[in-house]
Structure 1
Amino acid sequence: MAEQKIVVEDNRTAAVGDVDGSLKKSARKNKFAFACGILASMNSILLGYDVGVMSGANDYIKKDLQVSDVQIEILAGIINFYSLIGSALAGRTSDWVGRRYTIVIAGGVFFAGALFMGFAMNYAFIMFGRFVAGIGMGYALMIAPVYTAEVAPASARGFLTSFPEVFINSGVLLGYVSNYGFSKLPLHLGWRFMLGVGVIPSAVLAVGVLAMPESPRWLVLQGRLGDAKRVLHKTADTKEEAEQRLADIKEAAGIPLDCDEDTVQVPKKKSSGSGVWRELLLHPMPAVRHVLIAAVGIHFFQQASGIDTVVLYSPRIFEKAGITSSDKKLLATVAVGFSKTICILVSTFYLDRLGRRPILLASVAGMIASLVTLASALAVVNSHPDEKLMWAIILCIAMVLTFVGSFSMGLGPIAWVYSSEIFPLRLRAQGSGICVAVNRAMSGLCSMTFLSLYKAITISGSFFLFVSIAAISWVFFYTLLPETRGRTLEEMEVLFGSYHRWRSVAKKLKDNEITSATGGDGNNNGEVRLAVTRQTEKAEA
């Protein structure tokens, strides 16, 4: 019989399984860290507003500019591919100028894009405005969860890093309300006001972020230990936690733990560069490969399940269900926005209490059930084209609300929380950039093909397709995603590398069967490596 012992190779003397006591205490929630998390997360309101406002503006743009459905779905979804440029640049930019000024760049670029869209005179001009806004969106989506995870105390990391999704939902609701409010204006003005109002949140964000401190991890990587210590003492729950977090970051950056100088020289080999991409994509260690699969997978399935198509094309869905009045369709979309915004509070307040996995799996199960019911109801409506089935209309609206609510309770925010906390420090910016790229690419693909898809296989067939994808995602999450609640950021990787056998690793962590093996050189790159040794007991003769 083989006995498996897990050894952590690290240059710390404390066991990885022993989380600092100060992080276990129910410490006071730090108001300053809370404010920083809110301001950083406001980046995400830009994405939410664009998705929400385009759901209503699409019909008015189509009528005013006399364009086709194909042009509309391209216009609606292309911004997600444009955002890939921003997310590709954001990782390097955030390592160069810092997390805080990257947020300023995101707000400024989106501000310019909203102006271009608001003053657009033709289809090409709108497309250019969406190109500019998309770059700003890519910056925003990448940097918000990274900054929040690096500032948040461990006791509230899940709570604060779920805020980007809170603001995405708030932005969707604002977009829906904007649609309804400006729909009374003349045709040529209504959609321009809908799109142009996006300058307001981006301007507020770009100015407000200047009151935020820089990320302590970025400061340490720049050798500014004194500044990092001051930020940590402001954002940590306790002084002990601040000192422990500083020690973890110093070690990850290759700085001696006994170094107390305010400024130090950090070796260039520890900065981001081609070596990071090689380690992340070309020659990843098993633990890093597992992290990458989990992070990319959760973002892929978040969008492949059809959430953005439902939010973006909800007026079309309600029209197919039997609602013909424009006012009633827009009012129904406002209800969708309220459902998304209210249900996100479940995840926000219970993520650190119940853990990531239970909420995630329950969320996806709710999405599957609502999609099956919605697809079935739409199939019935489609088979009775000459009848107005009131029960089917009510059921379709209820299932759309249930679907977006289930998404907002789990898969929506947890995708961002999970991916931001599992990457090692030196891989985090680039890893988050990859996740944003996958997320936006899938959103763009679904958004740019939904109208054509439902014309080809019917709208009910489209939703049955989303059902199958959501079911596959549930199996993926159950099998490969370990629970990360209560683990410090620098110790997260100890749970990864065993793929579907992660439960045995977690059990050994819980039973304190992890020991620290200190080497002469240590690891020094923010990763916790796993070495598995097997002792084979000889069977008695």
Structure 2
Amino acid sequence: MNAIAEPLNARPKTTVIFTCALAALAGLMFGLDIGVISGATQFIQAEFQITDHVIEWIVSSMMLGAAIGALGAGWMSATLGRKRSLILAAVLFVVGSLLSGGAWSPETLIAARVLLGLAIGIASFTAPLYLAEVAPENIRGSMISLYQLMITTGILVAFLSNTAFSYSGSWRWMLGIIAIPGVLFLLGLFFLPESPRWLMMRGRKQMATEVLQKLRGDAEHVSHEVADIEEQLRMPQKGWHLFKENANFRRSVGLGVLLQVVQQLTGINVVMYYAPRIFQDMGYDTAAQMWFTAAVGLTNMLATFIAIGFVDRLGRKPILYAGFTVMAIGLGLVGTMMHLGITTHGEQLFTVAMLLMFIVGFAMSAGPLIWTLCSEVQPLKGRDFGIGCSTFTNWIANMIVGATFLTLLNGIGNAATFWLYAALNVVFILITFFLIPETKNVTLEHIERNLMAGKPLRHIGQ
């Protein structure tokens, strides 16, 4: 019996990992589109003879599309299903990439970037949701963290691709070549199963059971999970109606929104969008700026493995404590060095090391774990609405951070700007202690029961 049972039990785990890894490739497309524009702007500006203001529109139009996509993704995911929503996002990725590479005017490029933003908005909502609903609780954190790893991988690949094409100034290839991984992602999606929880919501219990059997392999476990989902589905409210009628759901939505604000105010996109400018202020020339920017992307990707390796062993909160502490120290020391003045090569390298330490702190904690927690704390009936609100907030906060950094530099100075972000990370340690629950090895249904019973947010994972 044992000899037969072991391969049967091993197969579903492999199936789960394959399914989650394929879904997490949405993050790769996300990262490619974030990173690719930074290296192309100077060549776009030269070809179209456009002003800095138009360049700002080209860059920021993607965030606008992402915010719109995130707003509609909740309805789309609930109506079409998680799988079809990801397929639509993949189609938009491909079309937007091809249109970007072939753009014949700035207006066309802006429209293409909006399409890419719509794809990112849909994917950034649906992929973590799908991963949370497909992965078993004992590896759920690691599987959702794969999404963040794919984002960081995409950013790094985009930086490297930009460097290769920059020698010829081929900005069209920079923007258009990402259609290739987009097509591969689209084809792979057809092999994914639909979310069993969504199937249950649509009354397809038999199909949901079959999917869970393939993913879990243990008939008794599947039976219990189906029963848990059925119990949650008896609640008649959902979405906006649930938000209006249920104060406990409003608490989980508020927590999701707060988590996304926290993630953006760590200062991560300040570094991602303005890394060359930051390295310039440290005294480096253009070539060094490009290499150190690539180092930022590599560090961001590699440090994400820390979260994947430890999130389901150490838990969410210990890693967040460590990450916010590391980020506060890193940015605080960068600000201090800029205040004292960076004059020697050793001082330059130390300041770069502190900035990279900040990147490590983010990639190991707030980067992947915020997405994990936003998926975990929302009740089933309102999960689409709750994650939609938090994802929309992510993009609005993203836009605000990107639009204010240079103003802060010019207004209060380099040192004070980095000190401000360091202080915010100290505040986030307190927020983690008082508001954020520990959800390690806890089923989504158990978290929901505690939430709806009115337990304090920090205790809903107990």
Counterpart code for 1:423: Q
For 1:246 and 1:34, the matched residues in 2 are separated by: 21
Q: Deviations over 1:228-271 (max 9, x none)?
A: 111001111532221111111122223xxxxxxxxxxxxxx948
Superposition deviation, residue 363 in structure 1: 0.5
SS in structure 2 of the partner of residue 90 of structure 1:
helix
Counterpart code for 1:308: N
SS in structure 1 of the partner of residue 190 of structure 2:
helix
Question: Does the 8 Å contact 1:103/1:139 carry over to 2?
Answer: yes
**TM-score, with structure 1 as normaliser:** 0.79
Residue equivalent to 1:401: 356
Runs of at least 5 residues in structure 2 that lack an aligned partner in the other structure: 1-8
| Pair 72,98 (structure 1): closer, same or farther in 2 beyond 3 Å | same
For 2:278 and 2:47, the matched residues in 1 are separated by: 22
Aligned counterpart for 1:343 among listed residues 294, 303, 311: 303
| Pair 271,476 (structure 1): closer, same or farther in 2 beyond 3 Å | closer
Residue equivalent to 1:198: 178
Residue equivalent to 1:246: 226
Matched, 1:416 2:371: yes
For 2:389 and 2:174, the matched residues in 1 are separated by: 31
Residue equivalent to 1:284: 246
| Pair 342,322 (structure 1): closer, same or farther in 2 beyond 3 Å | same
Counterpart code for 2:82: R
Superposition deviation, residue 66 in structure 1: 4.3
Question: Does the 8 Å contact 2:67/2:121 carry over to 1?
Answer: yes
Superposition deviation, residue 58 in structure 1: 3.1
Question: Does the 8 Å contact 2:57/2:110 carry over to 1?
Answer: no
Question: Does the 8 Å contact 1:82/1:135 carry over to 2?
Answer: yes
SS in structure 2 of the partner of residue 42 of structure 1:
helix
Residue equivalent to 2:91: 108
For 2:424 and 2:48, the matched residues in 1 are separated by: 35
Counterpart code for 1:334: A
For 1:228 and 1:99, the matched residues in 2 are separated by: 13
Superposition deviation, residue 181 in structure 1: 1.0
For 1:459 and 1:120, the matched residues in 2 are separated by: 37
**TM-score, with structure 2 as normaliser:** 0.92
| Pair 128,449 (structure 1): closer, same or farther in 2 beyond 3 Å | farther
For 2:254 and 2:205, the matched residues in 1 are separated by: 33
How is 1:245-394 mapped onto 2 (pairs within 5 angstroms)? 245-254=225-234, 270=236, 272=238, 276-280=239-243, 282-285=244-247, 287-325=248-286, 327-381=287-341, 388-394=343-349
| Pair 428,436 (structure 1): closer, same or farther in 2 beyond 3 Å | same
| Pair 75,457 (structure 1): closer, same or farther in 2 beyond 3 Å | farther
For 1:122 and 1:401, the matched residues in 2 are separated by: 37
Superposition deviation, residue 63 in structure 1: 4.3
Counterpart code for 1:214: E
Residue equivalent to 2:444: 489
For 2:206 and 2:307, the matched residues in 1 are separated by: 35
Aligned counterpart for 1:236 among listed residues 216, 227, 232: 216
For 1:330 and 1:33, the matched residues in 2 are separated by: 38
Aligned counterpart for 1:433 among listed residues 382, 385, 388: 388
Question: Does the 8 Å contact 1:154/1:488 carry over to 2?
Answer: yes
Runs of at least 5 residues in structure 1 that lack an aligned partner in the other structure: 1-26, 255-268, 510-541
Residue equivalent to 1:182: 165
| Pair 225,136 (structure 1): closer, same or farther in 2 beyond 3 Å | same
For 1:48 and 1:467, the matched residues in 2 are separated by: 25
Structure 1 stretch displaced more, 315-324 or 47-56: 47-56
Q: Give the structure with the larger helix fraction.
A: 2
Question: Does the 8 Å contact 2:101/2:176 carry over to 1?
Answer: yes
For 1:295 and 1:101, the matched residues in 2 are separated by: 24
For 1:393 and 1:68, the matched residues in 2 are separated by: 32
Identity of aligned residues (%): 30
For 1:295 and 1:462, the matched residues in 2 are separated by: 26
| Pair 338,59 (structure 1): closer, same or farther in 2 beyond 3 Å | same
Q: Deviations over 1:471-497 (max 9, x none)?
A: 222211111112111211011034444
Bigger RCO of structures 1 and 2 (CA < 8 A, at least 6 apart): 1
Matched, 1:221 2:181: no
Aligned counterpart for 2:13 among listed residues 30, 35, 45: 30
Q: Deviations over 1:301-359 (max 9, x none)?
A: 1012221121121111111111113x322221111111111110111011110000000
Superposition deviation, residue 110 in structure 1: 1.6
How is 1:490-529 mapped onto 2 (pairs within 5 angstroms)? 490-496=445-451, 497-499=454-456, 502=458
Q: Deviations over 1:197-216 (max 9, x none)?
A: 22122211111010010110
Residue equivalent to 1:16: none
Superposition deviation, residue 289 in structure 1: 2.9
Matched, 1:457 2:416: no
Residue equivalent to 1:162: 145
Structure 1 stretch displaced more, 61-70 or 388-397: 61-70
Residue equivalent to 1:13: none
Q: Deviations over 1:493-536 (max 9, x none)?
A: 34444447x45x77xx5xxxxxxxxxxxxxxxxxxxxxxxxxxx
For 2:96 and 2:456, the matched residues in 1 are separated by: 42
Matched, 1:89 2:81: no
Question: Does the 8 Å contact 1:69/1:451 carry over to 2?
Answer: no
For 1:355 and 1:398, the matched residues in 2 are separated by: 27
Question: Does the 8 Å contact 1:88/1:437 carry over to 2?
Answer: yes
SS in structure 2 of the partner of residue 153 of structure 1:
coil
Q: Deviations over 1:77-104 (max 9, x none)?
A: 3322221111111111111111101100
| Pair 336,177 (structure 1): closer, same or farther in 2 beyond 3 Å | same
Q: Deviations over 1:33-84 (max 9, x none)?
A: 1111111111111221122222322343344444444444443233222211
